[in-house]
Structure 1
């Protein structure tokens, strides 16, 4: 078909060049946003007298019919068209004639695609925020249910001190809370309308850019037309936020994979979120967690790709910027799918409380509290540290936990120990006497859970 920009040219485009230049295969995702932007643009054109009210209504009716036919499947977006903008305009002209040719008045494909991509990204920011909110609700539910479920806390993948499952989950709540806030910041910063920037220098038509921005729910118009068509900072910020979200999901997935192993047995993954082996009948694999972990590199790649594309582009628009879409679309879809699937896996997961508690007990996670016991009875900390080190060596040799030792065994290492040592180093005591803000004690966690609820209610 003839191109909408073909007047300057006397020869048709080489087919390979056309295919290489075309973006319809991926920018058709922007169809809904393109139609929405066109509706706002044509309403504004009529309001300033550039087109008549009758022409406005014809165009709006034509856009409605195209959208209805695409949504129903009666009209297909095909490679016959160079891009989604050409598809909409060409079909509009076919349907309503000369009035359709006025749609593009005062507009360039440069500011048109800048608008479409910004609208699409804003929609994806909102969708990602909603998915994260649901994940946060799932995490909060686990925190409430397991406020007293004891498990080992780790550093260097070594058992360190006893905590609760609620406390561990609370750490991920904080990560995803920051992600939600980060998306909110990005949305606010990006929420300015580039339509009306033209190719790069605005237009001589008396456009009302404030009206267009308001119709499209933006805070206002962008203030520099060159930046309006060439800015992709908002998309880079969003991809950066997606990379961070995916990193958080990957860390969480790694722990689920470890906890699901035969050596840990902290969790049982629901059958709906795991698979078996084609050869080993005993296997139950944490495939969802592994795939979430694996797809993280894919999301990082989208961010790196766009940063690399943008780093050498002079003002204003250049065709390089067409490369802002495919990998970005993939990253957006990938992260949302990962959030939803991980959420479902987490919500259906069973936590083996007894195994967790026993692991904390056998891992000498109360050693620090045993040292504190001695310090509170006048033993210098460095001496207490050494005494407990000897005690742990003795326990390893005897294959016992500290609280399984008799008082005689304890006194043989330090006469300072008395009968009250057992209460002082019980897992429950070790956890619940930690009451500072952010600690795993019941009182502190009650406060944290309340704050988490308030945050979710504020969204």
Structure 2
């Protein structure tokens, strides 16, 4: 009780840089206030080893919740834009070459779904972060009969890392968390790269607002997509944090080694980078303007409907491989062909098709509508997919809010327990 009261009244505490760390500083402070009979017992049944491991886990769980709520914000922003762009047809690409017609909503939904998996990975790693090492002490627990489960509960942990050697020496949860953060950055950098390409004069698919671009010191016309470029660059920084962590962990003997101290700055660096990157990507998604006329012009110019033209021949009883060969031969070296030219070319192969059927297929809106299977680009299919994802978004938000509330609940429980001891009348 005396010790807790001293901590509660800790107003004149100052770090003494001659002492090794915060733990030694606190112990020295309590001893100076209460003497060795109280302050000298501060470290009974605990060690810096389990305390540091617990502190990292507690701080990391808060960082993960901060990041996951920003992931949810970005997903919400993407789904909002999907609803606005559900009928906007554009080229789909493989190898950065025109492939098949899709919609802008269909493409943005792909970015959303990557971020949904990132959200799920945060949920998964959180369960391995939020477990308590306390009571492990230096490495072998304590001969004092402490209740490790009670300590875990008061600190808001969901359970124990049971083996005490494992508890103080393992930082695989850090590596796993930063690996997941690296995947988030990989997905964001992919999105950022497309933003950079789409904003070029050659593509002209989007326009970024002034606050997301910069000009040149010499070329007055420039609108450089610097925010997206920094997203791309900072991905490498997070990868570097991951590699550094794995390199430090390599070949460490059990149990605690001071090498582990070098891991923590890389963890906080990665968390900070991902958090700020998610913030700016929300801005990018909500503020970029799609040039719908240019998107339609682009999708009409590259014969990305060729696959559907081959499918038309399949429906005439020709094998797909033969259809592929015939259509490829007709289109070789051509970016556009009129319906009558295609009908005439097919007739030379002994294939008779109606010009109306070919004209329909040359319309990318018609082709997109045909692709209505689950996961396809048709507006009807994408509309259903958006609704499913909005429901999943709400569920994710509720789940992670419950985790945040759980931490607050146990913080209050701990504070109440401490207050009841402090306010207990002395005999």
Say which structure, 1 or 2, has more relative contact order (CA 8 Å, 6+ apart). 2
CA distance in 2: counterparts of 1:141 and 1:77, whole angstroms = 50
CA RMSD of superposed structures (Å): 1.9
Shift of 1:81: 5.0
Q: 2:62 is paired with a residue of what secondary structure?
A: helix
CA distance in 1: counterparts of 2:309 and 2:123, whole angstroms = 45
Scaled by the length of structure 1, the TM-score of the pair is 0.81
Do residues 82 (structure 1) and 82 (structure 2) align?
Answer: no
CA distance in 2: counterparts of 1:364 and 1:189, whole angstroms = 50
Do residues 455 (structure 1) and 403 (structure 2) align?
Answer: no
In 2 relative to 1, CA 225–60 (structure 1 residues): closer, same or farther, beyond 3 Å? farther
For residues 151-174 of structure 1, what are the alpha-carbon distances to aligned partners after superposition, in whole Å with 9 as ceiling and x for unaligned?
111111111000011110111111
Residue pairs, 1:59-458, within 5 angstroms: 59-62=7-10, 65=11, 79=17, 81-94=19-32, 99-393=38-332, 395-396=334-335, 401-402=336-337, 405-407=338-340, 409-415=341-347, 416-420=352-356, 421-458=358-395
Q: 2:93 is paired with a residue of what secondary structure?
A: strand
Question: What's the counterpart of residue 6 of structure 1?
Answer: none
Please list every run of 5 or more consecutive structure 2 residues that lacks an aligned counterpart in the other structure. 397-427
How many residues are paired up?
A: 390
Q: 2:101 is paired with a residue of what secondary structure?
A: strand
In 2 relative to 1, CA 454–424 (structure 1 residues): closer, same or farther, beyond 3 Å? same
CA distance in 2: counterparts of 1:269 and 1:311, whole angstroms = 44
Shift of 1:78: 7.8
CA distance in 2: counterparts of 1:317 and 1:178, whole angstroms = 34
For residues 326-350 of structure 1, what are the alpha-carbon distances to aligned partners after superposition, in whole Å with 9 as ceiling and x for unaligned?
1221111111111111221221111
CA distance in 2: counterparts of 1:218 and 1:146, whole angstroms = 43
CA distance in 2: counterparts of 1:267 and 1:434, whole angstroms = 25
User: Is the Cα contact below 8 Å between 1:436 and 1:444 reproduced in 2?
Assistant: yes
Q: 2:219 is paired with a residue of what secondary structure?
A: coil
CA distance in 2: counterparts of 1:440 and 1:152, whole angstroms = 11
Scaled by the length of structure 2, the TM-score of the pair is 0.86
In 2 relative to 1, CA 198–256 (structure 1 residues): closer, same or farther, beyond 3 Å? same
CA distance in 2: counterparts of 1:163 and 1:276, whole angstroms = 33
CA distance in 1: counterparts of 2:14 and 2:218, whole angstroms = 44
User: Is the Cα contact below 8 Å between 1:93 and 1:100 reproduced in 2?
Assistant: yes
User: Is the Cα contact below 8 Å between 1:250 and 1:296 reproduced in 2?
Assistant: yes
Residue pairs, 1:24-43, within 5 angstroms: none
CA distance in 1: counterparts of 2:79 and 2:334, whole angstroms = 37
Q: 2:99 is paired with a residue of what secondary structure?
A: strand
CA distance in 2: counterparts of 1:442 and 1:338, whole angstroms = 30
CA distance in 2: counterparts of 1:173 and 1:78, whole angstroms = 49
User: Is the Cα contact below 8 Å between 1:59 and 1:100 reproduced in 2?
Assistant: no
For residues 36-77 of structure 1, what are the alpha-carbon distances to aligned partners after superposition, in whole Å with 9 as ceiling and x for unaligned?
xxxxxxxxxxxxxxxxx3433333333xx47xxxxxxxx776
Of 202-211 and 382-391, deviating more is 382-391
Please list every run of 5 or more consecutive structure 1 residues that lacks an aligned counterpart in the other structure. 1-52, 67-74
CA distance in 1: counterparts of 2:3 and 2:16, whole angstroms = 27
